Amino acid sequence: YRAKGQPTRTAFYDQALEAALSRRQDLLMALSRALAEGELLLHFQPIVDLEGQQPVAYEALEALVRWPGGPATAAFIPLAEETGLVKELDRYVLPRVAALAQGRTLSVNLSVQSLTDAGFVAFLAGLPNRGNIVLEITERVLAYPETFAALQEVAALGFRLALDDFGSGYSSLGYLARMPFYALKVDRLFTQGIGENPRAEAVLRVVRDLARNLGLAVVVEGVETQAQRAWLLAEGFAWGQGFLFGRPAPMESFGGEG
């Protein structure tokens, strides 16, 4: 019981919750419209040979979606993932990347949800330049055994598969050994620990050895300093990605036609 006329705590929280939900709803509607209107753009970030001195000498470019006038990618992707709208985003991004993958290797992020979507493998089968495309899937995919058959089919279509953000969350090493992955991308959490945190360095060495034993390529994400690059080279890592080598930028800055 409480005094009459006094606003209740529940009412206060309900209002805050309602406001948050409607912001979320507005954002999703705006994203949906931006997809329909073709407003989202692709930027690209190089994946480089750590030994190469020139930042322009890249092995591949990773496509990263950008929403002009909208929130940052890292802010809207999780929401799109929660609600399934990310499947539409994937169907928007993939054909655009595939068209640009003529004569160059492009990497593109793919949501776990798309892999469980009926018809998605057929959609992928219709894309050109499949042998030049690396599909990056976060390691969370290892928590969804129902996607494994689709992964096998996708690999059989000629796509290469990379496990993204490796080490950041749930990883089933048992599953990893059975999946048709081509590369591991080590989360930048560990890169940040180089020279600072011996445990992060220990994890990097273990991942390097694991990948070597499984015959997988390793790309270290988030390389920002020459000191990190030097450590990685000394430890036998071959590939890296990060602001030190290049920030995500439009295709024109890599000599392509966008």
Residue 226 sits in the site that holds ligand C2E (CB under 6 A): no
- What SS3 string covers 154-177? HHHCCCEEEEEEECCCCCCHHHHH
Q: In this structure, are residues 131 and 106 in contact, taking their beta carbons and an 8 Å threshold?
A: no
Distance of closest approach, residue 47 Cβ to Mg ion, in angstroms: 10
Among 31, 58, 96, 109, binds ligand C2E (CB under 6 A): 109
Identity of the residue, 90 or 136, whose beta carbon is nearer to Mg ion in the bound complex: 136
DSSP 8-state symbol, 146:
G
CA-to-CA distance for 101 and 244, rounded, in angstroms? 24
Residue 65 sits in the site that holds ligand C2E (CB under 6 A): yes
CA-to-CA distance for 121 and 9, rounded, in angstroms? 49
C-alpha gyration radius of the chain = 21
Side-chain-side CA neighbours of 61 within 13 Å: the count stands at 29
Residue 150 sits in the site that holds ligand C2E (CB under 6 A): no
Distance of closest approach, residue 230 Cβ to Mg ion, in angstroms: 22
Tokens of 212: 């070597």
Contact residues: Mg ion, CB under 5 A: 109, 136, 164-165, 221
65's contact among ligand C2E, Mg ion, none, with CB below 5 to 8 A by partner kind, is ligand C2E
Which range of residues in 8-16, 46-54, 119-127, 218-226 is near ligand C2E by CB under 6 A? 218-226
Residue 136 sits in the site that holds ligand C2E (CB under 6 A): yes
Residue in the structure block whose two tokens are 């080490």: 167
113's contact among ligand C2E, Mg ion, none, with CB below 5 to 8 A by partner kind, is none
Binding residues for ligand C2E, total number by CB under 6 A: 25
222's contact among Mg ion, ligand C2E, none, with CB below 5 to 8 A by partner kind, is ligand C2E
Tokens of 201: 């360095």
Tokens of 50: 């750590």
Residue in the structure block whose two tokens are 């034993």: 213
CA-to-CA distance for 135 and 155, rounded, in angstroms? 9
Among 59, 111, 142, 208, binds ligand C2E (CB under 6 A): 111
Which range of residues in 18-26, 104-112, 127-135, 249-257 is near ligand C2E by CB under 6 A? 104-112
Q: Which of 180, 247, 189, 183 is nearest to 212 (CA)?
A: 183
Among 35, 47, 61, 93, binds ligand C2E (CB under 6 A): 93
59's contact among ligand C2E, Mg ion, none, with CB below 5 to 8 A by partner kind, is none
Q: Which of 121, 119, 123, 111 is nearest to 85 (CA)?
A: 111
Residue 59 sits in the site that holds ligand C2E (CB under 6 A): no
CA-to-CA distance for 126 and 40, rounded, in angstroms? 22
Residue in the structure block whose two tokens are 């995919």: 141
Identity of the residue, 18 or 252, whose beta carbon is nearer to ligand C2E in the bound complex: 252
Residues of this chain, 165-184, that bind ligand C2E according to CB under 6 A:
165
Q: Kindly list the residues in this chain that would bind ligand C2E in the complex (CB under 6 A).
A: 45, 63-65, 73-74, 77, 86, 89-90, 93, 109-111, 136, 164-165, 188, 222-224, 241-243, 248
